[in-house]
């Protein structure tokens, strides 16, 4: 069974949080910028990969209907983000701002915590409190601590990495279903990197179609296109 090496990329941070409007995306961009100022590399999903609304019309141009486009995009996002949380990044910062924490970000944090990755939570919002306290199943993943100053995220994460003294060669077995997802996400990320920062949305859509279209049209597994 293949292994997962969760701590090979401790200097690279997955930025998890809500991305549903301009102000949320701007806040995630500022979180990423603050971490980079502290010497970390970052993966900010909407900036570094793909957004459904932007790629949708380009997939429609390939002749797929709305249901097929939704299936293709959702599988691509799931595979790519899972790959980045599990393999591409060694740490995670969770933006917990909002009336309720973002569901996808909570799932990503749980993946990272299960693998023992350093996690820091940003919370500068009085909402979603339970009797004055945050949900223990979320803040417990960051040792029941939150940071309310974006500029302190980098220093706090750096301190957390030192505290944990993680071994880059430590690894765990990778079950088959996760291996297939990681393989698909890794292949998509490789293609995105090959296209470079000046990639067009049409080129990105072409890559998604090449790697994931068979899942929607023929019901293949995520890994089938990659074997």
What are the chain's domains? 3-226 (3.40.50.450)
CA atoms within 13 A of residue 58's CA, in its CB half-sphere: 17
Element (H, E) at 226: none
CA atoms within 13 A of residue 119's CA, in its CB half-sphere: 32
User: What is the structure's pLDDT at 194?
Assistant: 94
pLDDT tens, residue by residue, 64-83: 888 888 888 899 999 999 99
Instruction: Give strand pairing partners of 179.
Output: none
How far is the C-alpha of 104 from the C-alpha of 78, rounded, in Å?
10
Residue with tokens 């090959």: 194
pLDDT higher than 80, residue 141 = yes
How far is the C-alpha of 134 from the C-alpha of 193, rounded, in Å?
37
Contact 182, 82 (CB under 8 A): yes
Q: How many Cβ atoms sit within 10 Å of the Cβ of residue 145?
A: 13
pLDDT higher than 50, residue 220 = no
Tokens of 160: 């957390």
Q: Taking residues 203-211, what's their average pLDDT? A: 90
Task: Give me the phi and psi of 202, to 5 degrees please.
Answer: -65, -40
Least confident interval from 38-47, 56-65, 81-90: 56-65
- 61 compared with 168, residue with greater pLDDT: 168
Percent of the chain with pLDDT strictly greater than 70:
93
pLDDT higher than 70, residue 221 = no
Q: How many Cβ atoms sit within 10 Å of the Cβ of residue 70?
A: 15
Task: Report residue 213's pLDDT band, with 50, 70 and 90 as the boundaries.
Answer: confident
User: What is the structure's pLDDT at 1?
Assistant: 55
For strands 3-4 and 12-16, give the pairing. Answer: unpaired
pLDDT higher than 60, residue 54 = yes
Contact 17, 177 (CB under 8 A): no
10 Å CB burial of residue 219 (0-12, 13-18, 19+) is exposed
How far is the C-alpha of 53 from the C-alpha of 73, rounded, in Å?
10
């Amino acid at each position: 069974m293949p292994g997962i090496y969760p701590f090979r990329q401790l200097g690279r941070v997955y930025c998890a949080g809500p991305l549903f409007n301009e102000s949320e995306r701007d806040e995630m961009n500022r979180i990423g910028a603050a971490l980079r100022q502290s010497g970390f590399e970052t993966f900010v999903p909407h900036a570094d990969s793909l957004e459904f609304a932007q790629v949708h019309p380009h997939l429609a141009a390939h002749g797929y209907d709305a249901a097929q486009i939704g299936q293709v995009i959702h599988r691509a996002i799931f595979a790519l983000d899972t790959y980045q949380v599990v393999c591409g990044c060694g740490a995670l910062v969770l933006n917990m701002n909002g009336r309720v924490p973002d569901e996808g970000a909570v799932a990503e944090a749980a993946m990272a915590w299960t693998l023992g990755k350093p996690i820091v939570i940003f919370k500068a919002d009085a909402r979603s409190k339970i009797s004055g306290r945050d949900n223990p199943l979320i803040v417990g993943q960051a040792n029941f601590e939150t940071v309310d100053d974006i500029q302190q995220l980098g220093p706090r994460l750096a301190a957390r990495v030192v505290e944990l003294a993680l071994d880059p060669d430590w690894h765990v077995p990778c079950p088959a279903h996760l291996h297939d997802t990681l393989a698909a996400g890794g292949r998509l990320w490789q293609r995105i990197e090959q296209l470079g920062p000046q990639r067009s949305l049409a080129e990105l859509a072409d890559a998604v179609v090449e790697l994931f279209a068979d899942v929607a049209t023929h019901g293949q597994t995520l890994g089938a296109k990659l074997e």
